[in-house]
Chains A and B, each alone.
Chain A
Amino acid sequence: MKPSGYNLDATFAALADPTRRAILARLADGEATVTELAEPFDMSQPAISKHLKVLERAGLITRGRQAQRRPRKLEPRPLAEATDWIERYRKIWEGNYKRLDAVLEELKTKQKKAVDALLEDVKPKPKKRNTK
Chain B
Amino acid sequence: MTKSAPLKVTTPSDREVVVTRVLNAPRAMVFDAHTKPELVQQWLLGPPGWTMPVCEIDLRVGGKYRYVWKHADGRSMGMGGTFTEIVRPARIVATQLFDEDWTGGETIVTTEIAEKSGKSTLTTTVQYVSRAARDAALKTGMTTGMEAGFERLEELLQA
Contacts and interface: CB of A to CB of B under 8 A. Distances in A.
Interface of A: 1-4, 7-9, 12-13, 15-16, 21, 24-25, 28, 76-77, 79-90, 92-105, 107-108, 111
Contacts, number: 148
A89 B24 contact: no
A77 B148 contact: yes
A101 B17 CA distance: 22
Given A86-B152, A89-B17, 9 more contacts: A9-B14, A9-B134, A13-B131, A28-B157, A76-B150, A88-B141, A94-B4, A95-B48, A97-B122
Contacts of B149: 76, 80, 83-84
B39 interface: yes
Interface range on chain B (Cβ under 8 Å from partner): 35 or more
Interface in B33-92: 33, 39, 42-48
Given A76-B150, A80-B152, A93 B48 contact: no
Contacts of A101: 2, 4, 23-24
A12 B138 CA distance: 10
25 contacts: A3-B142, A9-B132, A16-B11, A21-B159, A25-B154, A80-B149, A82-B11, A83-B149, A85-B143, A87-B152, A88-B141, A89-B17, A92-B47, A93-B21, A94-B7, A95-B48, A97-B21, A99-B43, A99-B45, A100-B33, A101-B4, A102-B42, A104-B24, A105-B24, A107-B25
Contacts of B150: 28, 76
B117 interface: no
Contacts of B154: 25, 28
B111 to A, nearest CB: 12
B146 A80 contact: yes
Interface string B124-159: 000000011011001101111111111011111101
Contacts of A89: 9, 17, 19, 141
Given A8-B142, A9-B131, A104 B152 contact: no
